[in-house]
C-alpha cells in the first residue's frame, strides 16, 4: 500500500459520500481507501496522526504540515512541544504528586512513522502513545467499522496532560497541526472546521466540567489547557482540577528541543502506567465529542 497515491481525485469522490450520512471517518476512508473496513479506517488514522506528529511524509499532498514535533509560531507565540515527548521535561503523569520524564520517541522515532507504522516494535512508550492516538482520534471522527480498535488509554485527558501545564498557544498549535494534516489529505474545510471547533471546545479550555468523549468511559475531566492564557470553559469547575505549575526540565539538551528521532534521553523510566486521578465534579454535559461530530456531519 502506498499512501502517496490516495489523494488524487478526493474532491470528486468525497461529495457523494457526504450525502450518505456517514461519519467523517467513514467519508474519508471511502474517499481515500475505497473499502470502508476497520483496517482501512486504521490506515487512515495512522496516516493522519503520523502526519500530525512528524509532518508530511506522503506525496502528493495538498499543503505543508510541519508537525507537532517541529518548533512553530502560533499567533505570534513561539511553540516547542518536542520536550514533552522526548523526555526533556518531567511532564508525564504516572500517578505521583509531580510529573516524570518519559521518552515517547523510544522506538525508532520518525523512521517507522514514515513507513506508516506507530513504532518499530510493540512494547515501547512510542507504540503505546501512537496506537492510543489512532484509537482516540478515530473515535472522535466516528471510526466504528468492525476491526477498528477501541480506545485503550486513559479516559480523562485532563489527568493525562496534568503535569504539562499547557498554554492556549501550545494546544492551539497542536490543533492547527491536526487541521493542516487533515487538509493535506484533502479533507474539506467544512469538515475541518467541525473537528477544530470540537477540539477547541472540549480540550483547549480551562476547567471544563466532566464531558463524555469515549462513551464507554463516561464523563471525564477533559480540559488540557491549563495556564493563565487559556479560555475559561462555560460552567467552569476549577475546583475539580488540581493546581498546576510548569514542568521541571529533566534534560537540558532535550528540553531545549533535541532531535526528534532520538532513541535515548537518559530520562528516568516510567514507574507505573497509571495517571493520578482527579476528584471530578459530577456534572455531565452534552452528548460528548462523538455525538457532537456525528450531529455536525449529519447536518452538513
Residue ranges in contact with ligand HEM by CB under 6 A: 81, 84-85, 92-93, 104, 129, 132-133, 136, 153-154, 157, 160-161, 164, 166, 170-171, 174-175, 199, 203, 224
CB 177 within 8 A of CB 68: yes
Cα 79 to Cα 6: distance, rounded to the nearest angstrom: 31
CB of 275 to ligand HEM, least distance (A): 7
What are the helix (H) ranges across 34-155?
38-54, 82-85, 110-114, 125-140
CB of 63 to ligand HEM, least distance (A): 20
Task: Pick between residue 28 and residue 154 the one whose CB is nearest to ligand HEM.
Answer: 154
CB of 12 to ligand HEM, least distance (A): 31
Nearest to 10 by CA among 145, 135, 178, 186: 186
Task: Pick between residue 37 and residue 263 the one whose CB is nearest to ligand HEM.
Answer: 263
Cα 115 to Cα 132: distance, rounded to the nearest angstrom: 18
Beta-strand pair 77-79/72-74: antiparallel
Task: Pick between residue 87 and residue 112 the one whose CB is nearest to ligand HEM.
Answer: 87
Q: Which residue's Cβ lies closest to ligand HEM?
A: 153
CB of 199 to ligand HEM, least distance (A): 4
CB of 267 to ligand HEM, least distance (A): 12
3-state secondary structure of 72: strand
Cα 100 to Cα 92: distance, rounded to the nearest angstrom: 5
CA angle, 246 then 82 then 180, to 5°:
115
Task: Pick between residue 14 and residue 106 the one whose CB is nearest to ligand HEM.
Answer: 106
Give the single-character DSSP code of 211.
E
Task: Pick between residue 30 and residue 88 the one whose CB is nearest to ligand HEM.
Answer: 88
Amino acid at each position: 500500500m502506498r499512501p502517496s497515491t490516495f489523494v488524487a481525485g478526493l474532491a470528486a469522490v468525497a461529495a457523494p459520500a457526504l450525502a450518505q450520512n456517514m461519519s467523517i471517518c467513514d467519508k474519508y476512508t471511502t474517499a481515500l481507501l475505497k473499502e470502508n473496513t476497520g483496517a482501512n479506517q486504521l490506515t487512515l488514522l495512522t496516516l493522519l496522526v503520523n502526519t500530525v506528529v512528524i509532518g508530511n511524509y506522503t506525496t502528493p499532498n495538498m499543503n505543508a504540515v510541519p508537525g507537532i514535533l517541529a518548533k512553530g509560531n502560533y499567533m505570534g507565540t513561539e511553540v516547542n512541544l518536542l520536550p514533552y515527548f522526548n523526555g526533556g521535561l518531567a511532564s508525564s503523569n504516572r500517578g505521583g504528586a509531580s510529573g516524570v520524564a518519559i521518552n515517547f520517541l523510544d522506538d525508532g522515532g520518525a523512521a517507522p512513522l514514515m513507513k506508516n507504522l506507530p513504532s518499530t516494535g510493540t512494547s515501547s512508550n512510542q507504540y503505546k502513545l501512537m496506537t492510543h492516538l489512532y484509537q482516540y482520534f478515530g473515535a472522535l471522527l466516528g471510526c466504528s467499522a468492525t476491526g477498528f480498535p477501541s480506545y485503550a488509554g486513559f479516559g480523562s485527558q485532563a489527568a493525562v496532560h496534568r503535569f504539562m501545564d499547557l498554554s492556549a498557544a501550545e494546544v492551539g498549535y497542536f490543533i492547527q497541526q491536526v487541521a493542516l494534516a487533515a487538509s493535506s489529505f484533502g479533507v474539506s474545510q467544512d469538515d475541518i472546521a467541525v473537528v477544530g471547533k470540537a477540539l477547541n471546545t472540549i480540550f483547549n479550555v480551562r476547567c471544563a466540567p466532566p464531558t463524555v468523549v469515549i462513551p464507554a468511559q463516561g464523563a471525564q475531566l477533559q480540559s488540557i489547557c491549563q495556564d493563565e492564557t487559556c479560555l475559561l470553559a462555560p460552567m467552569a469547575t476549577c475546583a475539580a482540577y488540581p493546581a498546576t505549575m510548569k514542568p521541571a526540565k529533566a534534560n537540558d539538551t532535550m528540553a531545549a528541543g533535541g532531535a526528534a528521532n532520538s532513541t535515548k534521553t537518559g530520562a528516568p523510566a516510567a514507574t507505573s502506567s497509571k495517571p493520578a486521578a482527579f476528584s471530578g465534579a459530577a456534572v455531565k454535559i452534552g452528548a460528548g465529542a462523538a455525538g457532537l461530530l456525528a450531529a455536525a456531519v449529519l447536518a452538513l
